[in-house]
Amino acid sequence: MTQPRSFQEIILALQSYWASQGCALLQPYDMEVGAGTFHPATTLRALGPVPWAAAYVQPCRRPTDGRYGDSPNRWQHYYQFQVIIKPSPPDLQDLYLGSLKAIGIDMGAHDIRFVEDDWESPTLGAAGLGWEVWCDGMEVSQFTYFQQVGGYDCAPVSGELTYGLERLAMYVLGYSDGNKMPFNDPDAPIPLTYGDIFRDAEAQYARWNFDVAETDTLLQHFIDAEEECARILEQPADDPKTGRRIVMAQPAYDQCIKASHIFNLLDARGVISVTERQAYIGRVRALAKQCADAWLQTEAGGFAP
């Protein structure tokens, strides 16, 4: 166990730890998402009987969390590290604790606790039971056994771990201001802090998210994504060109992700009332549900011709 000295070393340590536990190291999904769970490697792969094990970093965007780069611990763009294993192995808690050790947390010197926290994503129609994991009172991870996704019961059950990387790194590296923590090696010729890289971008996005984003356009984009999702899923399974059976669950799901993010942007612009909120969430959930239906019709989703 070596003590990490930078943000990226923590990512590297988590990656090599989970790779050594047999996970496929994926890369971030190339779309704007609100949480690592949205990556199809989690949402869709949690469905159906096919075994799965993956780990990846996922940049996440939560427009309402923007603080113009001024907050020591809140950003509208931040990173999650996500691990998903199906079926959940019997020693998942121990595996998880091993990952904390791998990033330099000494179990003998810290107070690690599993505190009840059931997870629910109304937009994904997903729910699970588990804990938030505390290290000396700090929430460092979410630990969830998926019970439902897209309205389907998960069988087998996936175990999902989500590390809030900034918070975890601040704790491990000993920084109370996240913008000041080293991103790369602090002794590198060009040492960069987290703030050096993101602070200005945070201000730019905060301004756009809160005041400039054109809401009419966004509303139209939402509708477009919704319609495109429906259109994709309406296609017959058999592709007339290749003559193969191709159910386009993932392209449809991309539209669902898009709609979800546009909803978050509209929310940050303050144009969604409390009552409309529920309706929008319901619309995204309907898309997620249809994508889950389609996914189960694919081979990766367990469909056998």
Partner 1 sequence: MPDLLIELMSEEIPARMQNRAAEDLKKRVTDGLVEAGLTYGAAHGASTPRRLTLAVEGLLAASPDVREERKGPKVGAPDKAIEGFLRGAGVARDMLEERDTPKGAVYFATIEKPGRAAADIVAEVLEQVVRNFPWPKSMRWGTGSLRWVRPLQSILCILSDEAGASVVPLEIDGIVAGDQTQGHRFMAPAAFSVVSFNDYEAKLKQAKVILSPAERGDHIHAEAVNLAFAAGLELVEDKGLLAEVAALVEWPVVLMGQIGADFLSLPPEVLQTSMREHQKFFSLRDKAGKITRFITVANVETPDQGALVLAGYESVLSARLADARFFWDNDLRVATSDMNVWTQALENVTFHGKLGSQGERIRRIAALARELAPVCGADADKAETAALLAKADLSSEMVYEFPELQGVMGRYYIEASGQDAEIAAVAEEHYSPLGPSDDVPSAPLSVCVALADKLDTLTGFWAIDEKPTGSKDPFALRRAVLGVIRLVLSNDLRLPLDQYVDRQLLRHKIQLNGDADEQDLAALRDILAEIAEHGVFGAAVQTVMDKLRNEEQPEMKEGSLLRTIGDLVPDLSTDLLVFVHDRLKGFLRDQDVRHDIIDACIAMPGNDDLNQLVKRARALAGALETDDGANLVQGFKRANNILAQAEEKDGVEYSYGADVKFAETDSEKALFAALEAGEPKIEAALKAEDFTTAVSEMAALRPSIDAFFEDVKVNADSEVLRRNRLNLLNHVRKACGQVADLTRIEG
Q: Cα separations (Å) of 154 from 18, 157, 188?
A: 23, 5, 46
Using CB under 8 A as the binding rule, whether residue 171 contacts partner 1 is answered as yes
Looking at the Cβ atoms of 29 and 152, the one nearer to partner 1 is 152
Inter-residue contact 172 to 105 (CB < 8 Å): yes
Using CB under 8 A as the binding rule, whether residue 236 contacts partner 1 is answered as no
Query: Nearest approach, Cβ of 193 to partner 1 (angstroms)?
Result: 19
Distance CA 75, CA 60 (A): 10
Q: Which of residues 72-131 bind partner 1 (CB under 8 A)?
A: 72-73, 87-90, 93, 107-116, 118, 128-131
Looking at the Cβ atoms of 145 and 303, the one nearer to partner 1 is 145
Query: Nearest approach, Cβ of 32 to partner 1 (angstroms)?
Result: 26
Looking at the Cβ atoms of 173 and 291, the one nearer to partner 1 is 173
Contact with partner 1 (CB under 8 A) among 142, 147, 179, 290: 147
What number of CA atoms fall less than 13 Å from residue 283's CA on the CB side? 20
Give 50's strand partners.
none
Using CB under 8 A as the binding rule, whether residue 3 contacts partner 1 is answered as no
Query: Nearest approach, Cβ of 68 to partner 1 (angstroms)?
Result: 14
74 SS3 class = coil
Contact with partner 1 (CB under 8 A) among 157, 203, 281, 286: 157
Query: Nearest approach, Cβ of 90 to partner 1 (angstroms)?
Result: 6
Looking at the Cβ atoms of 87 and 251, the one nearer to partner 1 is 87
Size of the site for partner 1 (CB under 8 A): 37
Looking at the Cβ atoms of 40 and 130, the one nearer to partner 1 is 130
Exposure string of 223-238, with b = 16+ CB inside 10 Å and e = fewer, is: eebbebbeebbeeeee
- What is the rounded end-to-end Cα distance, in angstroms, of the chain? 48
What are the tokens at 246?
């191709």
Looking at the Cβ atoms of 134 and 208, the one nearer to partner 1 is 134
DSSP label at residue 289:
H
Q: Does the bond joining 4 to the residue before it have cis omega, within 30 degrees of 0?
A: no
For 122, the enclosing helix (H) or strand (E) is none
What is the DSSP annotation of 160-228? EEEEEHHHHHHHHHT-SSGGGSBSS-TTSSS--BHHHHHHHHHHHHHHIIIIIS-HHHHHHHHHHHHHH
Query: Nearest approach, Cβ of 274 to partner 1 (angstroms)?
Result: 6
Contact with partner 1 (CB under 8 A) among 83, 84, 135, 213: 135
Q: Which residues bind partner 1 (CB under 8 A)?
A: 72-73, 87-90, 93, 107-116, 118, 128-131, 135-138, 145, 147, 155-157, 159, 171, 176, 273-275
